[in-house]
Structure 1
Amino acid sequence: MIRRFLDALYLGAGILAGLFLVAIFLLMMGLSVGREFGLNIPAGDDFTAWSLVAMAFLGLAHTFKRGEMIRVGLLLERLHGRKKQIAEIVSLTVAAAFIGYFAWQAWTLAFDSWRFGDMSQGVVVVPLWIPQAGYVLGLAVLFIAVLDELVVVLQGRRPTYEQEPPATPDELVERIASGGGV
């Protein structure tokens, strides 16, 4: 039950990130094409920037859980068995601490923006907590995903972000060609 909820949470955040990517495309196309016809999207640059931040942060957890996030695994790849598990636990614990702190500070920033009524300074005035919400939500979901992986590793299972090694040379070539990890 919890596993299905968490997987849906990560997928939902990934879908939201994708929707923000589409919004960025539409805004940029609207700004570019509009320039040719003398049309302007008020605060289009602001909305594009806010969408970019939301897309980047909302996509983190989904990317992490699918094993697509860039990680420096030079040490972990060389370890096996119990030593690897301990190293994974340490790295996930440190990651959880940093991401948790980052998420808390992001929440504090957004809450203060809401509490003090901070507004954007652009052509279209928007309460700042609204664009900050994507940033906060993305970090919170990433924090949950890292804790989820920590629990998985503490239970002695292989992390879900760790892909099985390629079974054949053809599979290795296919992974590299598609931009996936090895």
Structure 2
Amino acid sequence: MSTADPRHSVFPEWLRKGLDALYLGAGYLGGIFLVAIFVIMLSLSAGRPLGIDIPAGDDFTAWCMAACAFLALAHTFRSAELIRMGLVIDRLNGRARHIVEIACTAIGTVAVSYFAWYAIDMTWTSWKFNDVSQGVIAVKLWIPQMAMAVGLALLALAFADELIHVLFGGSPRYEKPPVSNDEELIERIMESGA
């Protein structure tokens, strides 16, 4: 395994900054949809006693929830916050671990790219056939489906980005380094919200 700096990127600095900004921007957009869920749910709860009804409020909440989840995936992956099962890989060291990291990242890239392809195809088909929702308010389905397609495409890009990084000898950036002391352990526990 190469001893390359794990922060080093094989991409030019402008591209690395652009990709990181893209992932972060999608994460912020996911956060905006999280706030939208809160506002809609609060409006639905507060409106009931006042006799105010928000048409299709449940539909909009569900679409915002999907947008929140999918748009934040790439940023969550790059921030080493996705749940990762390391039962086998954590027992490996050196070249064996590096090879398994490459294999896992390649499999993840292929799997996420497959889902992204079909999400984009579904969104395109909905746009092409002018599909609309069946709720109280007719919404063109490609609009809420777009968040899933974009989120999965960005996650596929993030996986491919990481695969290239690991292939060229970098340490995976999607995992946090081991805890070195008790204070760091406590800080990580507080950051995770556990």
Q: When the two structures are superposed, what TM-score results if normalisation uses the length of structure 1?
A: 0.96
Residue of structure 2 equivalent to 1:133: 146
Residue of structure 1 equivalent to 2:77: 64
Q: Structure 1 stretches (4+) deviating beyond 2 angstroms?
A: 176-181
CA deviations over 1:120-176 (Å, ceiling 9, x no partner): 111111100000000000000000000011011001111111212222122123222
* Counterpart pick for 2:177 among 160, 164, 167: 164
**Aligned pairs for 1:76-95 within 5 A:** 76-95=89-108
CA deviations over 1:83-122 (Å, ceiling 9, x no partner): 1111011001111111111000111111000000100111
Instruction: Find the residue that maps to 1:160 and give its secondary structure.
Output: coil
Residue of structure 1 equivalent to 2:36: 23
Residue of structure 2 equivalent to 1:118: 131
Aligned amino acid, residue 37 of structure 1:
L
Aligned amino acid, residue 162 of structure 2:
E
**1:180 to partner: Cα distance:** 7.2
Backbone CA RMSD of aligned residues: 1.3
Q: When the two structures are superposed, what TM-score results if normalisation uses the length of structure 2?
A: 0.90
Among the aligned pairs, what percent are the same residue?
A: 52
How far, CA to CA, are the matches of 1:158 and 1:134 in structure 2?
Answer: 30
Alignment gaps of 5+ in structure 1:
none
Whether the aligned pair in 2 keeps the contact of 1:57 and 1:139 (CA below 8 Å) is: yes
How far, CA to CA, are the matches of 2:156 and 2:95 in structure 1?
Answer: 25
Alignment gaps of 5+ in structure 2:
1-13
